[in-house]
Amino acid sequence: MKLNDTTAVKLNRKKQLSREIWQNRYLLLMLLPGLAYFIIFKYIPMFGLTMAFQDYSLKEGILGSQWVGLGQFKSLFSGADFPLVLKNTIVISLLKLVFGFPTPVILALMFNELREGPYKKITQTISYIPHFFSWVVMGAMLTSLLSPSTGIINAIIQMFGMKPIYFIADPKYFVGVLVVSDIWKEAGWNSVVYIAALSGINYEMHEAAIIDGASRLKRILYINLPSILPTVAIMLILKMGGVLEAGFDQIFNLYNVAVYDVADIIDTYTYRMGIGQYQYSYSAAAGMFKSVIGLILVLITNGLVRKMSDNEVSVF
């Protein structure tokens, strides 16, 4: 009797699942292109990670190249350049995280306080625009703006009687240029998520706070900010996954030999070693190391957020 009941439950579940699939067939069809993208461009290329454990040869290919185990990783960690490259990656990534992550949150809170109207729409649009320019364009703009001879920034510096600064070729200023330009380009676009979260706050909470005599600043600190903390936590978890990215496109379009000591990161290093010197297995090992560290950081951050929020907020 129990066996028949179990079989009946399983059949009911299958029928229910089939019914739900049929009811949502159009939504599932819309999902297929995105799913295909991840399979083709994200999962299938993972087969290439085997290069990190080989002495890869173009002639022999992945299947025919000689296996060397962890030999490439040993060469990577014992190399003279890698400690500096790793240090630069960590420094640039942490500075972007510390200064760049809170900026969209603050910007969203500021936009939320503006009255609905043309001024709010114009300021939001202006903040979004830089995101849509590639780093090739942004690099050309920054080179022009920061030029020691014709740049407007140095023109202002000279107005105050100081000497012009070659920002892009001076190691003392280059990292600062990276951080500030990254905020300039992405802060407005990243604030969209937080603006959407703020729009979901029940205005009755604000009305009650106003009646109690709460100022605008107190309402921001005690209503708006706590309400979007789950969104902030999720965005932080996702951000930690790319903490060793540091921004290849940005640095590749801005850096030069004069600033290699502070600007050479894992991505630019693997590019030079892999494409420039044809050391494909070596660069694959470096890329795999970066990905594994990113995965570990995501898991750690996710665990910490779950504990701090009593399992209410997490990605996994």
CATH number assigned to the domain with residue range 80-308, chosen from the 4 options 1.10.10.10, 1.10.3720.10, 1.10.760.10, 3.30.390.30:
1.10.3720.10
**153 closest CA partner among 180, 122, 193, 116:** 180
- Amino acid letter for position 260: Y
Distances from the Cα of 52 to the Cα of 187, 222, 283, angstroms: 36, 50, 8
What per-residue confidence (pLDDT) applies to 15?
84
Residue 288 has pLDDT above 50, yes or no: yes
Q: In this structure, what token pair is assigned to residue 153? A: 């920034």
What per-residue confidence (pLDDT) applies to 1?
46
Residue 57 region by backbone torsions, left for phi larger than 0, else alpha for psi between -120 and 50, else beta:
beta
% of the chain surpassing 70 pLDDT: 95
The pTM of the full predicted model, rounded to 2 decimals, is 0.80
Residue 242 has pLDDT above 80, yes or no: no
% of the chain surpassing 90 pLDDT: 23
What per-residue confidence (pLDDT) applies to 309?
67
Q: 233 pLDDT band (50/70/90 cuts)?
A: confident
What per-residue confidence (pLDDT) applies to 277?
80
Q: 102 pLDDT band (50/70/90 cuts)?
A: very high
SS3 52: helix
CA 105, CA 224: separation in Å to the nearest integer?
11
